[in-house]
């Protein structure tokens, strides 16, 4: 039982460590060659170099891509010289030996902000563009997605409170469970307590949320963001196991007390 409890605590520490080190590992995981290619490709879109843009497109897309379409896309870049370009998103997959990657960049000019996206596929040694887009933004993604309490709805605050309080409630319940005299299979109660049932997930920036009744969440809650440019996603689950334990605990305590009294009575008789 002690080894099992140590494993549970180690699992929690590893989860925290993984979250804390995500930003540190991010730069190391970004493929430099492919991200540079994607950045350069969007620069050609910005410069209206459509012959180059078409030359790197997936051949299946060429019939649907016209100069007029490309002009409309490039017009989403704000006017003026590009002051900065930041890579704000990177995702890479290898499925059945085929490399694919998605890259998102933020552009800042004197007259505004824009976000550009490029999807790539590697065929042999060549990189092919399978999708790309550009859209205007109301400001820096870091600023737009900054975690703040101002201007939020009641639901925002309820989900935030649940995200903070549910893990504390589960932790207190877990400690109480460990100290409670449970005659058989205490480890089942421990597993039931640390896993919440169902969850609500909320995008803190947009306020969009979804319910997942089949989700099991370790320690009942999570707060996750892919980077400083991405929105925070809060997850709060229902601590069913922790709640049920408090209803059962008086029975275990009473049973242990009765057993102790019975053993004391047997000792006195003997």
Q: Considering the entire predicted model, what is its pTM?
A: 0.72
pLDDT at 19: 42
Residue 202 included in any domain:
yes
Q: Exposed, middle or buried: residue 226 (CB in 10 Å: 0-12, 13-18, 19+)?
A: middle
Residue 103 included in any domain:
yes
pLDDT at 24 over 60: no
Question: From CA 126, how far away is CA 59, in angstroms rounded?
Answer: 13
Indicate the DSSP class of residue 64.
Answer: G
pLDDT in tens, 37-76: 999 999 999 999 999 999 999 999 888 899 999 999 999 9
Which CATH number characterizes residue 124's domain?
A: 3.10.450.590
Answer yes or no: do 154 and 263 share one domain: yes
Of 144, 169, 188, the domain-final residue:
144
pLDDT at 10 over 90: no
Mean pLDDT throughout 9-33? 54
Three-state DSSP class for 118?
strand
Of 115, 144, 173, the domain-final residue:
144
Mean pLDDT throughout 231-236? 94
Residue 39 included in any domain:
yes
Answer yes or no: do 46 and 82 share one domain: yes
Number of domains in the chain: 2
Local confidence band at 257 (pLDDT 50, 70, 90 cut-offs): confident
pLDDT at 21 over 60: no
Domain interval for residue 56: 31-144
Answer yes or no: do 139 and 159 share one domain: no
Question: From CA 47, how far away is CA 74, in angstroms rounded?
Answer: 8
Two tokens, residue 105 = 């960049």
Of 144, 167, 195, the domain-final residue:
144
Answer yes or no: do 101 and 151 share one domain: no
Residue 222 included in any domain:
yes
pLDDT at 28 over 80: no
Residue among 248, 223, 245, 225 at smallest CA distance from 236: 223
pLDDT at 263 over 80: no
pLDDT in tens, 164-196: 999 999 999 999 999 999 888 899 999 999 999
pLDDT at 20: 40
Answer yes or no: do 179 and 110 share one domain: no
Q: Is the pLDDT higher at 131 or at 30?
A: 131
Pairing of strands 221-224, 209-218: unpaired
Answer yes or no: do 137 and 121 share one domain: yes
Local confidence band at 3 (pLDDT 50, 70, 90 cut-offs): low
């Amino acid at each position: 039982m002690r080894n099992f409890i140590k494993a549970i605590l180690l699992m929690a520490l590893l989860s925290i460590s993984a979250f804390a080190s995500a930003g540190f590992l991010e730069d190391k995981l970004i493929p430099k060659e492919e991200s540079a290619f994607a950045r350069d490709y969007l620069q050609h879109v910005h410069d209206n170099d459509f012959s180059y843009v078409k030359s790197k497109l997936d051949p299946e897309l060429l019939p649907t891509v016209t100069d007029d379409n490309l002009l409309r896309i490039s017009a989403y870049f704000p006017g003026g010289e590009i002051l900065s370009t930041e890579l704000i998103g990177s995702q890479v997959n290898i499925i059945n030996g085929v490399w694919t990657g998605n890259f998102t960049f933020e552009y800042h000019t004197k007259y505004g902000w824009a976000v550009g996206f490029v999807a790539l596929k590697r065929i042999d040694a060549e990189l092919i563009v399978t999708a790309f887009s550009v859209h205007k933004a109301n400001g820096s993604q870091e600023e737009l997605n900054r975690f703040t309490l101002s201007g939020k709805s009641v639901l925002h605050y309820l989900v935030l409170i649940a995200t903070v309080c549910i893990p504390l409630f589960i932790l207190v319940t877990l400690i109480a469970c460990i100290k409670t005299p449970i005659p058989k299979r205490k480890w089942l109660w421990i597993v039931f307590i640390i896993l919440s049932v169902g969850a609500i997930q909320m995008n803190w920036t947009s306020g969009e949320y979804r319910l997942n009744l089949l989700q099991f969440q370790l320690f009942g809650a999570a707060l996750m963001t892919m980077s400083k440019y991405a929105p925070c996603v809060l997850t709060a689950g229902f601590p069913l196991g922790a709640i049920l334990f408090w209803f059962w605990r008086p029975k275990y305590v009473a049973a242990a007390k009765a057993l102790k009294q019975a053993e004391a009575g047997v000792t006195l008789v003997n």
